[in-house]
Amino acid sequence: TDRKKLHTAPVGQVFRLRPFHVLVATGGGYAGYRKYEDYKLEQLEKRGIEVPVKLASEWEVALYKSVPTRLLSRAWGRLNQVELPTWLRKPVYSLYIWTFGVNMKEAAVEDLHHYRNLSEFFRRKLKPQARPVCGVHSVISPSDGKILNFGQVKNCEVEQVKGVTYSLESFLGPRISTEEMHFSQAPPGNSFQQQLVTKEGNELYHCVIYLAPGDYHCFHSPTDWTVSHRRHFPGSLMSVNPGVARWIKELFCHNERVVLTGDWKHGFFSLTAVGATNVGSIRIYFDQDLHTNSPSYSKGSYNDFSFISNNKKEGIPMRKGEHLGEFNLGSTIVLIFEAPKDFKFNLKAGQKIRFGEALGSL
């Protein structure tokens, strides 16, 4: 009679699976599996073995998108802002340096205790002499990274990696009004690609640069040009490493991105910063109104801002090598620009490149 009664709840009330939990668990597990597959592909590539292209199906893409990468990226961003105790900074940053092969001898400040949080460490500045800007070639690399693909744009399709493409119009969005651009009306053309080419005899070119987590995270102006317009696409924040780019068609069109368009001496020029997992924050130094990875966004939407109508019709002049923006972790830069037919890239697919080195010239 002195024993206490043990009241138990029905199993269904104690352990109740919700659809959201199932999606997160399944999507997270599948994302981990894909990471392992990417690692195996990288090992095959290092051994010189060509890997056949195998694209994800619609259900695989939907499953990957079920992972709350936007929420995780915002949480990661807040964690990065937490100030670390002085005694903890060196062990934490040293682990990161060892994992991703960061060269701290290039940093303007090599003392790890100087960086109060992970965000400051990711956005560390370099010594002025660490990245000399090539003065001979007309277009330089805007960032450190790996060349995923480059060449002429054909049939309104751009290659994100060899054999995997995305739509030029889906990526850049609808044609910007010529009233917002410096250059004159483009010659009449049927395709979106023809509408971007403003001078007869020119071609449209592209270059994709992937920034790994250990790379320098700032990006710079790749040439002398004037930025006339900014278009921000809210979207997913899937990984953009080469393995995923090879797996998901139009990956860059799914992800959040900031498209800067304008003109250079040969016509149309654009630079697009593509967001990725844990890289929800894309910052453009001269654009204080830009806020990426907002909690509320509408799928398929975008917002425009004109630097001509809001900047006394002058746009934002940028000099080659000038600081342009930054990521909070590695991501991707895509250049799409117009140039004469004799423009030549000085690149090889898969090569490592550093900010300031030549991409191509006439």
Three-state secondary structure call for residue 21: helix
Average pLDDT over residues 11-36: 52
Cα(271)–Cα(248) distance, integer angstroms: 22
What pLDDT is stored for residue 34 in this prediction? 54
Look at 137-141, 146-150, 235-239, 281-285 and tell me which has the smallest mean pLDDT: 235-239
Average pLDDT over residues 5-23: 49
The yes-or-no answer on residue 232 being catalytic is no
The yes-or-no answer on residue 220 being catalytic is yes
Average pLDDT over residues 322-345: 90
- Residue-wise pLDDT tens digits, 99-113: 888 889 999 999 999
Helix locations, the chain, DSSP H: 11-14, 19-46, 58-65, 69-80, 86-100, 118-122, 168-172, 192-196, 242-247, 251-254
pLDDT over 80 (residue 41): no
Q: Catalytic pick from 220, 232, 254, 266?
A: 220
Helix locations, 66-220, DSSP H: 69-80, 86-100, 118-122, 168-172, 192-196
The residue ranking higher by pLDDT, 159 or 21, is 159
- Residue-wise pLDDT tens digits, 265-312: 999 999 999 988 766 678 899 998 888 877 766 666 788 999 987 766
Tokens for 291? Answer: 């806020």
- Residue-wise pLDDT tens digits, 42-54: 666 666 665 566 7
Three-state secondary structure call for residue 61: helix
Q: Catalytic pick from 144, 215, 263, 287?
A: 144
Confidence of residue 16 (pLDDT cuts 50, 70, 90): low
Q: Considering the chain, what is the average pLDDT of its residues? A: 81
Tokens 């987590």, residue located = 213
Q: Catalytic pick from 141, 143, 228, 331?
A: 331
Are 255 and 236 in contact by the 8 Å Cβ rule? The answer is: yes
Confidence of residue 14 (pLDDT cuts 50, 70, 90): very low
- Residue-wise pLDDT tens digits, 210-229: 988 888 888 999 999 999 99
The residue ranking higher by pLDDT, 280 or 136, is 136
